[in-house]
Chains A and B, each alone.
Chain A
Amino acid sequence: MSEVHLGMKSRERIFRFIQPVVAILFGLAIGLLITLYAGENPWHVLKILANSAFGSVENIGMTLFYATPLIFTGLSVAIGFHAGLFNIGAEGQLAFGALAAAAVGILYPNVPGPLAPVLATLAAFAAGAVWGYIPGWLRARRGAHEVINTIMLNFVAAGLTSWITLYLLKSTESQNPETRTIAPAYLISHFAFFGDTPFNPSFLLALVAAFALWVLLWKTVLGYEMRAVGQNELAARAAGIDSAKMRIIALTLAGGLAGFVGVGEVLGHSHKFEIGFSPGYGFMGIAVALLGRNRPLGIIGAAILFGALHKGSLDLDMETEKVTRDLSLILQALIILAVSADGFWERVRKAVL
C-alpha cells in the first residue's frame, strides 16, 4: 500500500513540476500562432526571440539584467501573498529604494570604497521597507485594506520621489528629470564576462534574497507564523500568533525587497535616479509571483522567462516586418493565462494520474 502511495506521490510531484513548463509552451505556441495571423512565419519569430534572448553571452547578460528587478519585485509580492496580503505597492517601494540609493551616493561622496555600495544597498532596502511598513501598519492597526493603500501609495511615491529629485537632488548639467550622478565609490562594476552589458552583481543579490526568503518562510518560526496568518488568521490567533505584527513585518520586508531594485538600476546601471526609470517592474512582479507560484525558485525562473521575452522582443522591430516588440506583452499575458487555468490543469491531472 505504501509503495503504491509513493508511486502516486512521485507522479504527483513530476506532474507539478511539468505542468508549468507545459503551460508556458502552450502559451508560447498560441502567441506564435497569432504572428502567423499577422502574416509572419512563427518559426522565424521564435528563432529571433530565442537568438535575441540567449544567442550570445551579451544577449544572455541583457536577459539576466532585465530579469534582476523582476526577481526582487516577484519576491516582494510573494512574501505578501504568504502572509495573506496583496502587495500592489512594489512600484512605489522600488522607486523609494532607488532614490535612497542615489541620495546616499550623492550626499555622502566620501564613504570609502568597499563600504559605499553596501551602505547604498542598505539604504535602498530601508527606504523600500518604510514604504511597505506604512500600508502594513494601516492594515494591522487600522484595518485599512492594503490593496487600496499600496495602490494609492504608488502615486504618492511617484510624486514625492519626483519632488525630491527635482528640488533637492536635481542635476544641473542635464535637461532630463534626474538626480546628479552618484560618487564613483558607489558604482558597481559590470560582469566583464558578459561583454558590454549592464549586467551586474545585483543579480547575485537577487539570488541571495530568494534563498533568504526561502529560509525565512519555510525554516524559521517567524516565517511559519507569517504563513499561518496568511492561511487562516483565526487559527493563527487562537494559537497565540500576533497577526497584526506578522502583517506589518511581511509588508515591511516586501517593501525592502522591492527597494533592492535600486541597487542594480542605480549603482550598477544609470548611476543616478531617473524619474520613471521603472517600466512597471512592480506590477510585473505580480505576474512573476503568480507564474512562479510564490516559490523563490519559481520566481527566479519566471523572472528570467520574462526577461528573455522582453530582451527577445526588442529585435522583432528590426528583424520582422509585421510583428513588433509588443508581442512580448502578448506572450506574457498568454503564458499567465495558460499557467493560471487551474480548472483545466486539474482535469488534465485527473486524466493523467
Chain B
Amino acid sequence: MTTQPLAVELRGLAKRFGSVIANAGIQLEVRAGSIHGVIGENGAGKSTAMKMLYGMYAPDEGEILIQGKPLRFKSPSDAIHAGIGMVHQHFMLAGPHTALDNIILGAEPSHLGVLDRAGARTKLQALCKQYGLPLDLDAPVETLSVGVQQRIEILKLLYRNAQILILDEPTAVLTPQETEELLGNLKKLKAEGKTILIITHKLKEVLSFTDEVTVFRGGKVSGRVKTSETNAQQLANLMVGREVVLKVQEVESAAGVKHTFGKCLLRVERLNLKQKGHSHLKDVSFEVRAGEVVGIAGVEGNGQTELIEAILHPSDPRCLTSGKVRVLDQDVTDRKTFEIRALGVGVIPQDRHHQGLLLERSVKENFLLGLHRRRQFAKHGFILQKALDQSVEKALENYDVRPRRADIAVGGLSGGNQQKLIIAREFECGPQVLIAAQPTRGVDVGAIEFIHRRILKARSEGVATLLISSELDEILTLSDRILVIYEGQIVGDHLRGQADENQIGLKMGGGHHE
C-alpha cells in the first residue's frame, strides 16, 4: 500500500487570520485509495487545512498537490473540478425535496434546457449499485434518517465524480448502528479506489476506520502514524500534548474514597407523554440521589429528548401528559420552568446550538442566560453589569474557555469552548440537580476529560446528576446506575459494576422482548 502514489499532498501550508495563526507549515500526505484520519482538538487547525484543500480559503504559503500536480483553488468549484468533494458536518440538504433532486442540485443534467431527471436517475442507480449504497431516490429527504441523509451527501460527491472525499465529523450525528454502516460504506468506496479523508475527534473511530492518521495540534502537524501501529492513548497524547486520562472515573475510584449517596433530589413518577396517538414516554419512573450519577443509555430518538422536556417543562401539556416530577422533595409538576430551575437545577442541553446558546450574542450575554434573574446579577429589574463582568471573567478562567474574551459572539467559539461556557454557566449557581444531555457531543478529547471531571466533581460534592448520552462508553464510565430507555420505556436497570455492555447494548436495540 505504501507504493501507492499520493492523492493529496499539502506542502508547508500556512494560513493566518489577522493576528491569529491558524495553520503553520502543514504537511499532509494521503495515499490514493486509502482512508486517512485527520484528528486534533477544536482549534487545532484541521478545519482550516481542510477548507484550504476544498478551496474555501486561499493559503498564505505552501502548495497543494492533487494526484501529484500542484493546483491553486480559487473556490470550492475549482476543487470539485479537481475531483475533491466534502461532506459537511451539518448536511446541506433541502428537506422537502426528494433524494434525487437533492443530489443533482447544482449539477442538473439538462437536455435542450429541459431537466433530464430520467438520465440522472439511470446514472444514480448505477452509482448506488456500483458502491452498494441502497437509496430510495424518490423519498423526501426530511423523511429519511440521519444515516441515510449522510449517504445522500456521499452520493452527491460520487455523482460529481469526486475521487477524494473529505468527511467532516461524519459520526457526530450517527447512532452506533449507523456508524457501523458508514464504516462498511467507506470500505466499499475505498475498494473502488476512492481516497477518503475523515476529520474527527473520536479516537475509537479513527482506530477502526483509517489506514493512516495525521494529528494536528496548535495549528501544526504534531504527528503522523500508521493506524496499525498506534493506539488510543498515543493519539490522545499527540492531540493534547500531554498525558490524557481517557477514562476518568477509574482513576478517581482507584483513589479509594468511599462514596455514599444522600437524599433523593430528583424523582419522576410514572411519566407519560402521548401525542397524536403515539406514546413517547411510557410510565417512566426513577430517582436520582445526592452524589449519584444516573445514566440513561439508549439509541437516540427513544424518548430521551421528551424525558428532559418533561422534567423541565412539566406544566406544559405538550411535554407531559401524566405523571409527577419531584425536585428536592417538592412536587414541581405544576410549576413553571423558571421556578424549577431556581430550585437548583442545572441543565446541559443536548443540542447546544439550538437549546443552549444565543449564537450571535456575546459570551457575556450567554453566560447570563438562565442566571439573569438571580439576585447576584439582577436588582430591581436591572442587570448588574459589574457583578456580571466579574463573574464571567472568573468563569472563563476557571473553566478554561478560550479565548478569554467576554465580548465576542459565542458562535465564533469552538464546540468544546461553547460547551465549557455552558458548563461554567450551569455550575455558577451551584446546582443540586444536574441534567447533562450529550455533554461531550462534538467536543475534543481534552474537553471530554475536562467535562467528565467536572461531572464527577459535582458528584463528589453531592449533586444528583441525570446523564443522558448516546455514547455507551460515556454512560459506563460515569454512571453509578444505568437505566436503558427503548421506545419511551425504561427497559433495563443496572448498578455500576453489574452492568454488562453486551446486555445493555441488546436492550438498547429492543432485544429485551421475548
Contacts and interface: CB of A to CB of B under 8 A. Distances in A.
Interface in B12-71: 18-19
B341 A240 contact: yes
Interface string B400-414: 000001000000000
B370 A240 contact: yes
Contacts of B313: 237
Contacts of A4: 18-19
Given A238-B347, A240-B370, A220 B381 contact: yes
Given A224-B368, A235-B357, A242 B336 contact: yes
Contacts of B368: 224
Nearest to A4: B19
Interface string B351-362: 000111111110
B365 A1 contact: no
B337 interface: yes
Interface string A314-353: 0000000000000000000000000000000000000001
B349 A238 contact: yes
B370 A232 contact: no
Q: Is the interface of A mostly helix, strand, loop or mixed?
A: helix
A241 B378 CA distance: 15
B372 interface: yes
Interface string A233-262: 011111111100000000000000000000
A224 B365 CA distance: 8
Contacts of A236: 369
B424 to A, nearest CB: 15
A219 B340 contact: no
B383 A224 contact: yes
A8 B19 contact: yes
B333 to A, nearest CB: 16
B312 interface: yes
A219 B357 CA distance: 20
A235 B418 CA distance: 14
A221 B384 CA distance: 10
B383 A219 contact: yes
A237 B359 CA distance: 15
Given A234-B354, A235-B357, A240-B336, A228 B369 contact: yes
A265 interface: no
B383 A220 contact: yes
Contacts of A237: 313, 337
A225 interface: yes
A234 B355 contact: yes
B152 to A, nearest CB: 26
A8 B18 contact: yes
A222 interface: yes
Interface string A160-172: 0000000000000
Contacts of B358: 228, 231-232, 235
Contacts of B365: 224, 228
A221 B381 contact: yes
Contacts of A228: 358, 365, 369, 372
A235 B372 contact: no
Nearest to A231: B358
Contacts of A235: 349, 354-358, 369
B341 A239 contact: yes
Interface string A200-230: 0000000000000000000111101101100
Nearest to B347: A238
Interface string B218-237: 00000000000000000000
A108 to B, nearest CB: 33
Nearest to B366: A235
Interface in A5-34: 5, 8
B370 A239 contact: yes
A231 B382 CA distance: 20
Given A235-B369, A238-B347, A221 B383 contact: yes
27 contacts: A1-B19, A5-B19, A5-B405, A8-B18, A219-B382, A219-B383, A219-B385, A220-B381, A220-B382, A221-B383, A224-B368, A224-B372, A225-B372, A227-B361, A228-B358, A231-B358, A231-B361, A232-B354, A232-B358, A235-B349, A235-B356, A237-B337, A238-B312, A238-B337, A238-B347, A238-B355, A240-B370
Listed from nearest, the 7 A-B pairs whose CB atoms lie closest are: A240-B338, A239-B370, A4-B19, A240-B337, A231-B358, A240-B341, A239-B369
